[in-house]
Amino acid sequence: MRTQEKEKLIGRKLPRAELGLIAAIHARTQHLPAPRELIFGMGDDCAVLRPLRGEDLVMTTDLLLEDVHFRRAWHPPESVGHRALARGLSDLAAMGARPIAAYLSIALPADLAGKWFDRFLDGWTDLADRHQVPLAGGDTAEAPRTGGKPKMAADVVLVGGVPRGKALLRSGAHAGDTLYVTGKLGGAAVELRDLRRTSGSTPDRTPIRISKTRDSSRPHPHLFPQPRLAVGRRLLQGRLATAAIDLSDGLSTDLNHLCQASGLGAIVDRQAVPLAPGASLKDAADGGEDYELLFTAPPGRPLRSVSGIRVYPVGRMTPKAGSIELLAEDGSRAPFMPRGWQHFRVARLK
């Protein structure tokens, strides 16, 4: 379809075919203020971005698949929309980046194109408003009707900006650095377990709605994780951290990534790992999806909070590459194996 025709159609009320959906997406997201880098967003064949002088762009993409990353019967549509955006924002946070634009490509079963999708957009825009993330484009298709029940799939691309050459990497840690995590861990695993236990509820009648005040108490760490963008930016701007990664797969697995990238080992003090209410050490270590940050900082000046978020020292980096150990109360040490989430290994939502 030609650009002018598309532009004429965007913003007008149309039936919920492809163009109607795109119009709805546009109408629901165009109020978001665009940063200077975004010259032109939705409505043409491409968005136009102009990086600021002295900045690097960071980009990330995340898939969100029905029955892999969410279930209709467990996750209210607001949560699906929120999580679709939160995962990439958490990656930006881990780089110390400021969000510039998001892209949303979706394959949508026809029966989700109405109310379900409106509620998906509620969840998306609530989080996009909070972090000022304009939607710069995407693609919309109907999920195939052949081969059983059509399933929803989304791919979300995020673009962010960092001062040139200053992105917070996984590889910058030094031996002796203190290991920190933001917030308490394992809450997402606890809430996912609850969802699994109470599953079978009708997806459209689930009572969970978005609460504007949920941030401080974090009552829904799985359904509505809060990416630590302000913390990441402060770590970068204040040169507080030497390396960072976001906790998407679980402390055990993500610490392994950080150690590998930095060519170091680590010792984690079991007693020091901050546990969310109801969470076990296993939930914190292997549960994943907490979307907190794991970062390293020089040991000289202990940190208690960053950008108003409590941070907890959980261990230290060691020079022994590949050796990651858990220190027990009695002083004994055991290997801290990466047992977090890996695709192709187990089915997460079973």
Only segment of 43-51, 54-62, 283-291, 341-349 that touches ligand ADP (CB under 6 A): 43-51
Closest to 67 in 3D by CA, of 128, 109, 19: 109
Distance of alpha carbon 257 from alpha carbon 246, whole angstroms: 10
Task: Decide: is 324 part of the binding site for ligand ADP (CB under 6 A).
Answer: no
Give the sign of the dihedral formed by CA 116, CA 120, CA 126, CA 128: negative
| Closest by Cα among 157, 165, 131 to 59 | 157
Find the shortest distance in angstroms from Cβ 7 to Mg ion: 14
Exposure string of 191-224, with b = 16+ CB inside 10 Å and e = fewer, is: bbeebeeeeeeeeeebeeebeeeeeeebebbbbb
Q: Contact 221/290 with Cβ under 8 angstroms?
A: yes
Q: Which does 42 bind (CB under 5 to 8 A by kind): ligand ADP, Mg ion, none?
A: ligand ADP
User: Considering only 138-146, 244-252, 258-266, 327-335, which stretch makes contact with ligand ADP by CB under 6 A?
Assistant: 138-146
Check binding of 139 to Mg ion (CB under 5 A).
yes
Q: Which of residues 75-114 bind ligand ADP (CB under 6 A)?
A: 104, 106
Side-chain half-sphere exposure of 176, counting CA atoms within 13 A: 4
| Shortest Å distance, C-beta 113 to ligand ADP | 11
Closest CA to 242 of 314, 179, 164: 179
7 touches Mg ion by CB under 5 A: no
Q: Which helix (H) or strand (E) holds 127?
A: helix 115-131
**Smallest separation (angstroms) from Mg ion to the CB of 246:** 30
Q: Which tokens in the block code for residue 104?
A: 């949303």
Q: Which stretch binds ligand ADP (CB under 6 A): 37-45, 110-118, 285-293, 314-322?
A: 37-45
Total of residues contacting ligand ADP (CB under 6 A): 15
Q: Considering only residues 64, 135, 285, 293, which one is a binding residue for ligand ADP as defined by CB under 6 A?
A: 135
C-alpha triplet 174, 177, 289: angle, nearest 5°: 100
Q: Which residue's CB is nearer to Mg ion, number 47 or number 241?
A: 47
Among positions 5, 139, 204, 215, the unique one binding ligand ADP when judged by CB under 6 A:
139
Q: Does 44 bind Mg ion (CB under 5 A)?
A: no
Min dist CB 48 to ligand ADP, Å, is 11
Q: Min. distance of Cβ 42 from Mg ion in angstroms? A: 11
CA-based nearest residue to 326, from 342, 341, 345, 339 = 339
The reply to whether 6 sits near ligand ADP by the rule CB under 6 A is yes
Binding site for ligand ADP (CB under 6 A): 1, 6, 22, 25, 42-45, 104, 106, 135, 137-140
